[in-house]
Structure 1
């Protein structure tokens, strides 16, 4: 299996995982099956769509290959009939989101490098691919986006993307092993943030100067 095929299947897995998180959010909002499909699709392909629009890729990836939309619809319908079996759906959503975040951070960066962009831009594309779908999910469902909460979030995608770009493009190491190392690093950081409530110091207001 070539690295392009590996990236394709990882990206498809990421779409499925993120689509399930969207469907879980739809279940929490008690939507009908159409709502499940809509939110799952927004979440599953949102980040990749923004990436392709920014890079000028036409047609966008899910227009060229219907597998992406079919995956989102399948994930939505599966979750519609099984969500009631999950006792703590928000907890499941958070952990599945962490999995998708780590996957998309790596695959987004890999796709950026394949397009011939600079290493820095590839890292940014990885971050965009990993975060925008979840942000759309949360905004549409009237939730505070995970990206805006105190826990470490966006940095996890940046870590995975950076490891992949530095390892493959700058150090020229084998792309397959580096992709898995980058994924696990990103996931472990996000898992630690969830488990231990890790976050960066936040800005605290101070009295203004007196003139």
Structure 2
């Protein structure tokens, strides 16, 4: 019984750290590419990694904020950013690397935001929204700081991937799949949809009315 209670918490925490590291890498890569200094790169990585989760917790009235009570978040982001800045020259294909780590962060944070909302007693619709918020807000702020058009506003299969993972989770939960397995499946679905969209250049259509 103890293991059944503890394992999901440990799993969610590990997923959170995976997302934090991935987003710290993505943020540092873009900031370094833009010529930011050491502090600037760390700031961008912080915003990218914890921006979405911060907005989620504020919306759900969860206080104090998660990164204020657990300094591991700030430490991991800072160390990840510094290490990557030192070895930045190894990343020759900046665009491909950025999109890979962005996809990892998208998947991990979508699961975290979705699960946090469910544990707060939110409806499935709000849980899906919180998953999306957690996944995209940090990246949007990162791109704005770096003077880039946010990926999620460029007809990218991004929000759609997060929603697809959340809907998959709810469907599998309905048929009785355990939460631990379901989280891995949700993670995989989001990452797979995002990477397939990049590989085959899938885009959402835009609606344009002819005058």
* Residue 22 (structure 2) pairs with residue 20 (structure 1): no
Whole-Å Cα distance in 2 between the matches of residues 172 and 4 of structure 1? 20
Q: Which runs of 5+ in 1 are unaligned?
A: none
Counterpart of 1:164 (choices 141, 148, 169) is 169
Please give the per-residue CA displacement for 1:78-109, whole angstroms capped at 9, x wherever unaligned: 11101111111121001110111011111111
Give 3-state SS (helix, strand or coil) of 1:112's partner.
helix
Q: After TM superposition, list the pairs within 5 Å mapping 1:1-211 onto structure 2.
A: 2-168=7-173, 170-207=174-211
Give 3-state SS (helix, strand or coil) of 1:200's partner.
coil
CA contact (8 A) 1:24 1:90 kept: no
Q: After TM superposition, what 4+ stretches of structure 1 lie above 6 angstroms from structure 2?
A: none
Q: CA RMSD in A?
A: 1.2
Give 3-state SS (helix, strand or coil) of 2:87's partner.
helix
Give 3-state SS (helix, strand or coil) of 1:177's partner.
helix
166 and 124 in structure 1: CA distance in 2 versus 1, 3 angstrom threshold: farther
Please give the per-residue CA displacement for 1:108-150, whole angstroms capped at 9, x wherever unaligned: 1111111111111111111110111111100110101000012
38 and 16 in structure 1: CA distance in 2 versus 1, 3 angstrom threshold: same
CA contact (8 A) 1:83 1:89 kept: no
Please give the per-residue CA displacement for 1:38-74, whole angstroms capped at 9, x wherever unaligned: 0000000011001000000000110111111111101
Question: What TM-score do the two structures reach when normalised by structure 2?
Answer: 0.94
Count of residue pairs the alignment pairs up: 206
CA contact (8 A) 1:23 1:37 kept: yes
Give 3-state SS (helix, strand or coil) of 2:13's partner.
helix
Offset of 1:161 from its aligned partner? 2.2
Give 3-state SS (helix, strand or coil) of 1:150's partner.
coil
Q: Which runs of 5+ in 2 are unaligned?
A: 1-5
Question: What TM-score do the two structures reach when normalised by structure 1?
Answer: 0.94
